Structure formats: structure tokens, C-alpha cells
Chain A
Amino acid sequence: KQEVTQIPAALSVPEGENLVLNCSFTDSAIYNLQWFRQDPGKGLTSLLLIQSSQREQTSGRLNASLDKSSGRSTLYIAASQPGDSATYLCAVRGEYGNKLVFGAGTILRVKS
């Protein structure tokens, strides 16, 4: 059974810092991995989608990497801003079937 772990559970940084959020998964037979952002009381917003054949994806100040063989992904946020404060969720989709399995998330607070 696939299990997804996100470290750290919470992170507080001053504005302007570069930071890394970590995601690990136990079964490397994945189809893709998706990073989401969730603001309090809101739905999930997709940030980046990495297919299993890809190593990384970039969008603006965000960069996500994938090491499928070791079961790891990282989300890099450059020059963090207070508006980046949210919960970041990592989710993997298995090779067989459409189901996404989620980590518990990392709560990020960027202080101004």
C-alpha cells in the first residue's frame, strides 16, 4: 500500500528565504506526482505535475524534482513571500489506476 510522508510538518521562515519541502513515497511504481497548495478553508490548487519519466518541473519561483527510484520529491520555493503562506500537499498516482495518495502536508508560514 502506497504511503506518502511530508517533512517538515510545519515551517516558519522570514520573507526572502529560499526553502525546500520534502515528500517521500514507499512504492516507486508511480504514474505521476502532483504538488498542491491549500489556503485555509479552501480547495486545492495544483502547482506542479511531474510525470514519472520527468526529473523536474518549474513554474515561476517554484521548482519540483522527482527521484522515482529513491521515492523522493522536493518542492523548492525561491525568494519566499508572505503570500506563499499555505499548506503544501504532495500526492502520487500509482501506475495502475487513477487514485491519488496524499501526504499530510507541510504548513508554511512566511513572515514579513
Chain B
Amino acid sequence: DGGITQSPKYLFRKEGQNVTLSCEQNLNHDAMYWYRQDPGQGLRLIYYSQIVNDFQKGDIAEGYSVSREKKESFPLTVTSAQKNPTAFYLCASSINSRGYTFGSGTRLTVV
């Protein structure tokens, strides 16, 4: 079955450490996205990519970085510059006029 796989499901980060969240899709979708979700708030866009080797900042890109070397993969790195990284991170993909498909999320906690 086609879908989006996010890993790991839970991730713990120490102060000053960079961590990378994985997102893989086998839907053959061109566009991929990273969203952050905090309690009681809607999803906020971090980065998005419409084609391979190209990506754009979303509304809250500071402290994050991405790459899009393959159509199927869009990893997100949370750097030490992100001062409040504890949140639920969701990856999504889309194609043309169809709606978005989301992964099951990664919960990141600073310890």
C-alpha cells in the first residue's frame, strides 16, 4: 500500500544536539511538506519542496534545515539553533489537485 512513513515515532534530543527526522513516501507525489504541531495550536509549516533539489521556507523555518535529494525522501534536521523544539512533527505529500496525505508523526522531546 502506498503511504508516508515517518521515523522514529519518538525522539529525544539533548541540549545543543542536532537530530534528523525521516520522511519517506511511495505515492509518487511531487510535493512534500513538514509541519509542526504544538498543543492547542493548528499546524504550522516549516519547509516544503515541490520538486527534487528544490525547497522553500515556510512560516517557522528558523532552526530547521531540509534536503530533497530524492523524490521519495524529505528529511528534516532540527538544529541546536531551534530553542524550543519539543513538539509533534508531521510530514505530508501531495500531487496536483489531490489533497494532502500525512504520515503518523514524530514526537520530539528535549531532555
Comparing B12-20, B38-46, B61-69, B76-84, the segment that makes contact with chain A is B38-46
CB-nearest residue of chain B to A105: B42
Residue B50 CB within 8 A of the other chain: yes
Given the known interface contacts A49-B99, A103-B42, the answer about A43 and B107 at a Cβ–Cβ threshold of 8 Å is no
Residue A32 CB within 8 A of the other chain: yes
CB-nearest residue of chain A to B44: A102
Contact status B102-A44, CB under 8 Å? yes
Per the 8 Å Cβ criterion, residues 55-112 of A in contact with B are: 89, 91, 98-100, 102-105
A44 to chain B, nearest CB (A): 4
Given the known interface contacts A4-B42, A98-B94, A102-B43, the answer about A43 and B99 at a Cβ–Cβ threshold of 8 Å is no
Q: Which residues of A contact B107 (CB under 8 A)?
A: 41
Q: Which residues of B contact A46 (CB under 8 A)?
A: 99-102
Contact status B100-A100, CB under 8 Å? yes
Docked pose: A4 CA to B105 CA in angstroms:
22
Q: How many A residues have CB within 8 A of the partner chain?
A: 22
Contact partner, B90, options A4, A32, A43, Cβ 8 Å? A43
Per the 8 Å Cβ criterion, residues 26-59 of A in contact with B are: 31-32, 34, 36, 41-46, 49, 51
Interface string of A1-41 (1 = CB under 8 A from B): 00010000000000000000000000000011010100001
Contact status A43-B50, CB under 8 Å? no
A62 to chain B, nearest CB (A): 14
Given contacts A43-B103, A46-B99, 4 further A-B contacts (CB under 8 A): A34-B99, A43-B90, A43-B102, A44-B90
Q: Provide 21 A-B residue pairs closer than 8 Å at the C-beta atoms, listed in order of the A residue.
A: A32-B97, A34-B100, A41-B88, A41-B107, A42-B105, A43-B6, A43-B102, A43-B105, A44-B100, A44-B102, A46-B100, A91-B100, A98-B31, A98-B50, A99-B33, A99-B48, A100-B33, A100-B43, A100-B45, A100-B100, A103-B42
B interface vs A, CB < 8 Å? 6, 31, 33, 35, 40-45, 48, 50, 58, 88, 90, 92, 94, 97-105, 107
